[in-house]
A = this chain, B = another copy of it.
């Protein structure tokens, strides 16, 4: 069954004076209000959220949200795939409609994090890594630093090329009123920022963020009854890579991105050069290179050249992270994969405002852990 997305919204990302229940309700409410659908029609509710229990001592957010949105009776479930919870939610929502279980599924992803210290958040997040690696100090930022050094040396890429990812995404985010940072930066600022995990510096990392995002899914034939303004889920697939990062053959190849990308392209019946706009998981700048290569948007070891050449800028052949990406828009874990698809939805229906690029087909890649769990989604303009 062909599945449509008929509504999309996200809250302001940043440091928010609201708890997870309020953030989820804010995006969910806006999504329903902005769609042509009456809330009574919603029969499934998925909540993408990694750690409301660990961060806030709040469990059962799916049932609470069903209450807060007035969706009494709807099936409600929480989906966790760490940083890729949002992408997993997209896959889940697609499955719920494609299987015939639901005729109208609301997906809301969100996380409330900024009230915890970075050390506390890091402890929660680092527990996804293997204990053997963790006790040697290998948190996600450490892996990013090691991988970046390896990539730069092996592929003879200049250090500036990583900074250029940050500069591009901050420039895009400056046009996104929902982004945590609406601030352009230059290469010097990025290169002179404090070291976090050598060679990566502060501006190579996404911030800690509160926020949520929502999407409304239904069969295409149901969408047509409501409106001409919807997009179609052309392809979606998920995959995992090794739990132990050092067991991977090549640290510059994100295997689960390769696998989920191949699955999504096969389902969509298209190739990487037919993608007009992409949202990639730039939790660390180096990941934007690795995902471009794993998805076939660049040859192995050559993504940095495309970025340098401006081909992934707003006016390039393949604009990447028009939303500002995780780098500038922020990264509220469970929200990010949903917000990526919100950006694609806005691009494909022509509502991206100053960030609008010409696009009929978009791809989102959401990554959990250090490439541990990945979901790739391809959307097409429809209506």
Contacts and interface: CB of A to CB of B under 8 A. Distances in A.
Contacts of A239: 73-75
Interface in A356-383: 368-369, 372-373, 375
A146 to B, nearest CB: 19
Nearest to A256: B73
Nearest to A65: B243
Given A76-B81, A81-B76, A63 B98 contact: no
Interface string A49-67: 0110110011110111011
Interface in A141-181: none
Nearest to A96: B95
Contact of A77 (B63, B80, B256): B80
A382 to B, nearest CB: 19
Instruction: Give the dominant DSSP class at A's interface.
Output: mixed
A274 interface: no
Interface in A228-244: 237-244
A117 interface: no
Copies of the chain in the assembly: 2
Contacts of A237: 75, 101
Nearest to A67: B243
Contacts of A51: 53, 59
A260 B101 CA distance: 12
Interface stretch (A122-130, A281-289, A290-298): A122-130
Given A63-B369, A95-B99, A99-B94, A57 B123 contact: yes
Contacts of A123: 57
A220 interface: no
A167 to B, nearest CB: 32
Given A75-B238, A373-B76, A54 B59 contact: yes
Interface of A: 45, 50-51, 53-54, 57-60, 62-64, 66-68, 71-82, 88, 91-92, 94-96, 98-101, 123-125, 127-130, 237-244, 255-256, 259-260, 368-369, 372-373, 375
A53 B49 CA distance: 13
A259 B75 CA distance: 10
Given A53-B54, A78-B79, 10 more contacts: A57-B124, A59-B82, A63-B128, A63-B368, A64-B130, A66-B240, A67-B244, A73-B239, A73-B255, A95-B95
A67 B127 contact: no
A74 B240 contact: yes
A74 B255 CA distance: 11
A127 B82 contact: no
Given A88-B77, A238-B75, A243 B128 contact: no
Which are the 4 A-B pairs with shortest beta-carbon distances? A60-B128, A67-B243, A75-B238, A99-B99
Contacts of A59: 50-51, 54, 80, 82, 124-125, 127-128
Nearest to A247: B67
Given A53-B54, A78-B81, A80-B80, A60 B91 contact: no
Contacts of A369: 60, 63
Contact of A373 (B63, B98, B129): B63
Contacts of A259: 73
B243 A57 contact: no
A53 B58 CA distance: 12
